[in-house]
Structure 1
Amino acid sequence: MIAKITAAIVLLPITIVLVVFMVVNRGDVTVSLDPFGSIPQLSFDVSLSILMMGAVIFGLVLGGIGTFLSQNHHRRASYKRKHEIERLQRETGKKDERIRMLEEDRAAATTGTGSRALVPAARAA
């Protein structure tokens, strides 16, 4: 609850400033893709607020891609650990089944009904 209130206190003024900035800077600016300015076909007029929002969105996308790529080793380690845990659980399940069969055989041996642990294939069917 405190985190939401803190986020609102921080984000509300930032949002107000951004909206005011976009309203004040709605005039067009010339953006030239030619660094020397000799080719007029490589320039266009666009609203400054749209240009700034485009730059922010472009930065967010690039930052997200960079973060995704830099955390690849964490995802790889998590993937390996997940498969190791699944393998160990399967192995433990097989051993638990074998222990259960041996305990049943011990109980059956004390009553004299015979052994089933020596023939695990018959048990699986």
Structure 2
Amino acid sequence: MISRLLSIIVLVPLAILIVIFCVVNREPVSVSMDALGTSPQLAFQAPLFVLILASLILGVLLGGIATFVTQARYRARAARRARELETLRQEVDASNERLRREREDRERERAAQATSQATAQVAPPAPRDAPAGLAAPAPSGRPAIAGPRAA
């Protein structure tokens, strides 16, 4: 909104000045393309404002073309770096995906090891048909005797 207002404030007076310049300088002037003045066929007449505005427009166009040509290497370098940046981003994404998969695989392996160790550490329950005075079999394979004589 503010930029539009500023452009109106600048462009309207500029347009008014250009119109006034064109009205004041509408008399035809003679323009000769022959520097020595020996060839009258290289001369023409045109209003002064047309010549000045045409010169201004031609200067802006030539300056723009010259700037475009001289900045070509910078645009090429920027495009090359943009492609390189995109390639590096894709590599980072692929690396992050591989890392995520490896972490998930490690977590699955740890969970599987934990469950296998938990099932291996649990001692088998005592048989249900054992007499009341006997405990679970001792590591030697003989039944342990519970009570005062056991020691």
- Normalising by structure 2, we get a TM-score of 0.64
Equivalent position of 2:80 in the other structure: 80
Give the 5 Å matches for 1:10-21. Answer: 10-21=10-21
Equivalent position of 2:23 in the other structure: 23
The structural deviation recorded for 1:111 is: 4.0
In 1, the alpha carbon distance for the partners of 2:14 and 2:105 equals 73
Equivalent position of 2:104 in the other structure: 104
Identity fraction in percent? 40
The structural deviation recorded for 1:29 is: 1.4
Q: What secondary structure does 1:112 align onto? A: helix
For residues 45-88 of structure 1, what are the alpha-carbon distances to aligned partners after superposition, in whole Å with 9 as ceiling and x for unaligned?
22222111111110110121122234334323322321221121
What one-letter code is carried by the residue in structure 2 that aligns with 1:40? P
In 1, the alpha carbon distance for the partners of 2:100 and 2:13 equals 66
Equivalent position of 1:116 in the other structure: none
The structural deviation recorded for 1:11 is: 2.5
Equivalent position of 2:41 in the other structure: 41
In 1, the alpha carbon distance for the partners of 2:9 and 2:101 equals 64
Q: Which has the larger radius of gyration?
A: 2
What one-letter code is carried by the residue in structure 2 that aligns with 1:53? L
In 1, the alpha carbon distance for the partners of 2:27 and 2:42 equals 20
Q: What secondary structure does 1:38 align onto? A: coil
User: What number of residue pairs does the alignment pair up?
Assistant: 113
Q: Structure 1: which 5+ runs fail to align? A: 114-125
> What is the RMSD of the two structures over their aligned residues, measured on CA atoms?
2.1
In 1, the alpha carbon distance for the partners of 2:112 and 2:34 equals 96
In 2, the alpha carbon distance for the partners of 1:5 and 1:101 equals 56
Equivalent position of 1:66 in the other structure: 66
Q: Structure 2: which 5+ runs fail to align? A: 114-151
Q: Which has the higher contact order (CA 8 A, sep 6+)?
A: 1
For residues 87-117 of structure 1, what are the alpha-carbon distances to aligned partners after superposition, in whole Å with 9 as ceiling and x for unaligned?
211211221121122122113213439xxxx
